[in-house]
Structure 1
Amino acid sequence: MPFQRFVQTGRIAKCSAGPLKGRLVAIVDVIDQTRVLVDGPLTGVPRQEYRLNNLHLTKYRIKFPFTAPTRIVRKAWKDSDMKAQWKASPWSARSQNICKRSHLNDYDRFKLRYAKRQRNKLLTVAFNTLKKRTKSDGTERKLKKDKRERIRELKAQGVKKGAAKK
């Protein structure tokens, strides 16, 4: 599959190292193959050079001229409503969950682990019952347990054994 995210003017990226970790920035200019000029007027990031190794490119891009001043980047950022777009993205939700989990204490981590174990047990039981009830070709398999339940239902209705076979 061809690349979808290019290092280009206006590309929104997330910083992954240093004091700016986790903040969104806009690429203003490409300095060389390893460095770019970034600016984050609404995320509290001053204009500075940043290593590409420490950036995660997002799918979002805002339009502004090459090497635009901060005021133009700020205006383009507001006009595109980037904050709302980012909040709606699954990437943002995932990073917020990771942040929440990092503040858990021992007991909270234990409760989370226990709850996951219980959920996984339920999922395993449900999966195995579906697996037992399905043949390899995808059709439903009749189990002895089903026959016993059917006989109990017929007894409860008052139908005799010989009549059930007909």
Structure 2
Amino acid sequence: MPATESNFKRFVEVGRVVLLKSGPQEGRIAVIAEVIDHNRAIIDGPTTGVPRQSAPYRHLTLIPLRLTKLPRAAGSGAIRKQLEKEGIVEKWEKSSFAQRRTAVAKRRSLTDFQRFVVMVAKKQRADRVRKAVRAAKKA
């Protein structure tokens, strides 16, 4: 029987970078240092302020980034060196996923008046675009 390609691209593995979905470090990234069982892993985020701890997978989101050549049960020092060497935190901050999260958080923090200002600005922008498209069609 031929091997079929999997639909899944991100796996729970040592070195996988994860985003914490709940708890006091919610929104920060960490690295899987060791897999405990089918429900939990030891995570560590020495550069992002996440202490080494056991975390259930349901509180983690696997992101596409991973550390290469990270040994199993690596200590915080080794993880820190790999994170800095591969520039994982910078890659994460430049990713569309992280930028989208910050935009959503910013939008959620707006006051009623600020949302009104954004709405008016959107209407003005749409009006300018519509007029430019009409002028381009005529020309």
Matched, 1:111 2:120: no
Residue 11 of structure 2 is aligned to residue 6 of structure 1: yes
The answer to whether 1:60 aligns with 2:59 is no
Cα offset, 1:125, TM superposition? 8.5
Q: Does 1:75 align with 2:81?
A: yes
- Structure 1, unmatched stretches of 5+, are 134-145, 147-166
| TM-score using structure 2 length | 0.82
Q: In structure 2, what is the Cα distance between the partners aligned to 1:122 and 1:4?
A: 42
Task: Note if 1:90 corresponds to 2:96.
Answer: yes
Provide the residue aligned with 2:42 in structure 1: 37
Give me the identity figure in percent: 35
Q: Using the TM superposition, give the Cα deviation of residue 99 of structure 1 relative to its aligned residue in structure 2, in angstroms.
A: 2.2
**Do the aligned partners of residues 2 and 125 (structure 1) sit closer, same or farther apart at CA in structure 2, a change above 3 Å counting?**
farther
Tell me the alpha carbon deviations over residues 56-86 of structure 1, each in whole angstroms, 9 at most, x when there is no partner: 1111110310001111111111111112211
Report the structure number with the largest CA radius of gyration: 1
Structure with the bigger RCO (C-alpha within 8 Å, sep 6+) is 2
Question: What per-residue deviation string (whole Å, max 9, x for no partner) do you get for residues 120-166 of structure 1?
Answer: 56778899x8xxx9xxxxxxxxxxxx8xxxxxxxxxxxxxxxxxxxx
Report how many aligned residue pairs link the two structures.
130
* Paired residue type of 1:115: A
More helix by share: 1
The secondary structure found in structure 2 opposite 1:20 is coil
Q: Which amino acid aligns with 1:4?
A: K
In 2, Cα distance between equivalents of 1:126 and 1:2: 43
Q: 2: distance between equivalents of 1:11 and 1:83?
A: 13
Report what 1:161 is aligned to. Answer: none
